């Protein structure tokens, strides 16, 4: 489960990047296009609307990939919350074991 603090940090980072006070479907579409143009990552308008609370969330978890895309796009490095989150949600890479 993503904490409310994490989701708030993501929203704040996008607000700072776009400098917009009004969040609506049109802004979410602009953010989606901007992220795709900037780094070729696709985040749907609907997903962004869920992040901003314009639509209900299907579940209480945002996929780690989406969080990472937004962090990369915003360059949000000022507080350790998001960095720690990305580190925590990255899958642990285990070396495959073989039975002998």
Cα separation values, 91 from 24, 65, 94, Å? 33, 11, 9
Name the domain count of the chain.
1
* CA dist., res. 49 & res. 81, Å (int): 22
Asked if residue 27 is part of any domain, the answer here is yes
- 94 is a domain residue: no
Domain that holds residue 28: 4-89
Domain assignment present for 29 = yes
76 in a structural domain: yes
In a domain? residue 98: no
In a domain, 95, yes or no: no
Provide mean pLDDT across the span 66-90: 68
8-55 residue pLDDT tens = 888 888 988 888 778 999 999 999 999 999 999 999 999 999 999 999
pTM of the model: 0.72
């Amino acid at each position: 489960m993503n904490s409310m603090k994490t989701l708030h940090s993501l929203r704040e980072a996008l607000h700072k990047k776009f400098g917009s006070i009004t969040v609506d479907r049109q802004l979410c579409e602009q953010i989606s296009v901007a992220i795709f143009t900037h780094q070729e990552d696709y985040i749907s308008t609907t997903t962004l609307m869920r992040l901003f609370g314009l639509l209900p969330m299907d579940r209480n978890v945002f996929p780690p990939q989406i969080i990472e895309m937004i962090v990369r796009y915003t360059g949000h490095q000022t507080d350790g919350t998001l960095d720690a989150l990305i580190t925590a949600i990255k899958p642990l890479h285990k070396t495959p074991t073989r039975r002998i």
